[in-house]
Amino acid sequence: MNVLEVSDLKKHYPIHAGLLRREVGRVRAVDGVSFHIAQGETLALVGESGCGKTTVSRCILRALAPTSGSIRFDPGQGETVDLATLPKRALRPLRRHLQMIFQDPYSSLNPRMMVGDIIAEPLRVNGVPAAERHARVLELLDLVQMPAVARTRFPHAFSGGQRQRIGIARALALNPRLVVADEPVSALDVSVQAQIINLLLDLQDRLKLSMLFVAHDLSVVRHVSDRVAVMYVGRIVEVAPTDALYRTPRHPYTETLLAAVPAPDPMRRGRQMKASGDVADPAKPPPGCAFHPRCPYAQDRCRVERPELTEVAPGRWASCHRAQEIELAGVA
Ligand code: SF4
């Protein structure tokens, strides 16, 4: 059963110019993205800055209104709703089922509120009585491995990792159906990142969380995700079960991202091609395959014909004309 089904999602921003401010073009921040998240599954959405992954997550949370497409969400009441077209008023009661873990644990917690009040805030807004709130806050602090005494302190008393634990406790307060984690460890030190990833793994196991985990590289998502979707210039270019994607990528851009993943034993790593140049501009994407100016495997066809996302093996999808013929290097 799917908690979320995103179909052909687009978010375009018109570009206006001239005296009459005529529309002269469009920034195609998200341009036809489709994926699903099953109950209890974590999907990682990965790509460099500007690829559209954050725009996708903001459309799901309806912080942005999509240009077109559908976002079918199952809030657990027997019927799915299309978040893409729902009026704001109808969205309000659904928000409790859809929570977010923010990237920056320093700016996402109100410095003037005690930790207990921060965690209890979504409970209060949703009418949970004070006595129940108190018990639930203690339960949530325990869940994220923080001492009960933390509830009477202010956020500044805690490290970045501890603050992220508080943010996670707040996101889980209402037992959401789906958690959107927006680069939840990228603002933390590497040693602390591992602790938060371990916490998320523990929570996945205990709570059977369904999660969209947004990340800008592949170094942190391997252990936390069941499947990975790789985005490039507003489109998904590869989707696969996590282990398969790391071992045998089927899109050259995925190989490029894998080349940046620190390897425990670099000598055992395959020969990975690195892409040169910058990410394409979504206002002026290159013709054909948007990755062709950076792709070491590009051929003439790639420069004129855009590849569609097609199933290249059971459960594996890639948008590359040469997905079946080139052998790409993964990581063990
Ligand atoms: S379609 Fe061509 S340019 Fe695009 S990723 Fe595949 S080989 Fe590279």
| Tens digits of residue pLDDT in 203-234 | 999 999 999 999 998 988 998 999 999 999 99
Residues in the chain: 332
The pLDDT of residue 282 is: 86
Judged by DSSP in three states, 232 sits in strand
Q: For residue 190, is it within any domain?
A: yes
What is the Å distance from ligand 1's center to 303 Cα?
9
Q: At what angle do helices 130-143 and 160-172 cross, to 10 degrees?
A: 130
How many other CB atoms are there within 10 angstroms of residue 12's CB atom?
18
Predicted-complex ipTM score: 0.99
How many structural domains comprise the chain?
1
The pLDDT of residue 50 is: 87
Q: For residue 318, is it within any domain?
A: no
Could you give the dihedral angle defined by the CA atoms of residues 194, 195, 200 and 202, in that order, rounded to the nearest 10 degrees?
120
Task: State mean pLDDT over 176-185.
Answer: 94
What is the Å distance from ligand 1's center to 4 Cα?
29
What is the Å distance from ligand 1's center to 298 Cα?
5
The residue range of the domain holding 63 is: 2-107+176-225
Q: For residue 122, is it within any domain?
A: no
As a whole number of Å, the CA-based R_g of the chain is 21
pLDDT at 316 over 80: yes
Would you call 329 exposed, middle or buried from its count of C-beta atoms within 10 A (0-12, 13-18, 19+)? Answer: middle
Task: State mean pLDDT over 159-164.
Answer: 95
Q: For residue 281, is it within any domain?
A: no
The pair of three-digit structure tokens given for residue 152, joined into one six-digit string: 């009477």
DSSP H or E run through 26: strand 22-38
| Tens digits of residue pLDDT in 14-27 | 999 988 888 888 89
| Tens digits of residue pLDDT in 83-123 | 999 998 899 889 999 999 998 888 889 999 999 999 999 99
Mutate to test the pocket of ligand 1, among 235, 299, 309 (most ligand atoms within 8 A of CB): 299
What is the Å distance from ligand 1's center to 257 Cα?
15
Q: For residue 261, is it within any domain?
A: no
Cβ of 232 below 6 Å from ligand 1: no
Task: State mean pLDDT over 129-156.
Answer: 96
Judged by DSSP in three states, 172 sits in helix
Q: What is the CATH classification number for the domain harbouring 202?
A: 3.40.50.300
The pLDDT of residue 202 is: 93
Q: For residue 181, is it within any domain?
A: yes
